[in-house]
Amino acid sequence: MMPSTRILYFMALSVLTMFSLFGCFRNKPAKITVESWLESGFPGRFEVVHSNINLNVMDLYHGKKMAVIGEKADPELQFLLHWTKGTDDLGLSKPEVEAACASAQEDVKNARALLRLLKDRSLESVSVGAIGPAAYILVFGPSDAATRERTLSTILAALDARPDPSQ
């Protein structure tokens, strides 16, 4: 190598070393995630069951996401939370999370009450869910006509026996 080429080579190597050395020490802001946002606003109360479930391509392009949030004390209590990627607060607010949780608590309370009524009437192989004014009942077992008739009459009797039939 010629002396001027060596000097250029040494200078380029020095500049690259300086950039890599000082680039490692700069402070990067912590990335805000749904988990960290919930933990700072509601310490120890919620966990993210599943995140990034929004399948709408345009929402993904705009950074809009959804997550299923569960309460740690009661894992059956779950609700959807809509959030926006890349913003300081993720587009979330404490009252919004509290309202979604309260709605989910009401739904779980209604589902458990209906399940209790069905189990009290000896309908064992059943799953119950409630969302707002709707109740979803899944019955598992044989599908013959007599069983279907008996199951239907048991469900109707349980629905009639509810103390608050608004649902």
If phi > 0 it is left, if psi is from -120 to 50 it is alpha, else beta; for residue 129 that is beta
pLDDT at 60 over 80: no
Q: What is the mean pLDDT of the chain?
A: 84
What's the confidence (pLDDT) of residue 70?
93
Residue 81 backbone phi and psi in degrees, to 5: -130, 125
Our separate counts of H helices and E strands in the chain read 5, 5
For residue 31, what pLDDT band results from cuts at 50, 70 and 90? Answer: confident
Given a contact cutoff of 8 angstroms between Cβ atoms, the answer to whether 52 and 67 are in contact is yes
Pick from 104, 90, 111: nearest CA to 38? 90
Does residue 130 sit in helix, strand or coil?
A: strand
Does residue 47 sit in helix, strand or coil?
A: strand
Say what percent of the chain tops pLDDT 90: 37
| DSSP string over 17-41 | HHHHHHHTTSPPPPPP-HHHHHHHH
For residue 43, what pLDDT band results from cuts at 50, 70 and 90? Answer: very high
Q: How many residues does the chain have?
A: 167
Compute the distance between CA of residue 157 and CA of residue 36 in angstroms, rounded to an integer: 47
* pTM above threshold 0.85: no
pLDDT per position as a tens digit, 82-127: 888 878 888 889 999 999 999 999 999 999 999 999 999 988 889 9
| Burial class, 31, CB count within 10 angstroms (exposed 0-12 / middle 13-18 / buried 19+) | exposed
What's the confidence (pLDDT) of residue 3?
59
pLDDT at 4 over 80: no
- What does the pLDDT average to over 54-68? 78
For residue 32, what pLDDT band results from cuts at 50, 70 and 90? Answer: confident
Largest CA distance in the chain: 99
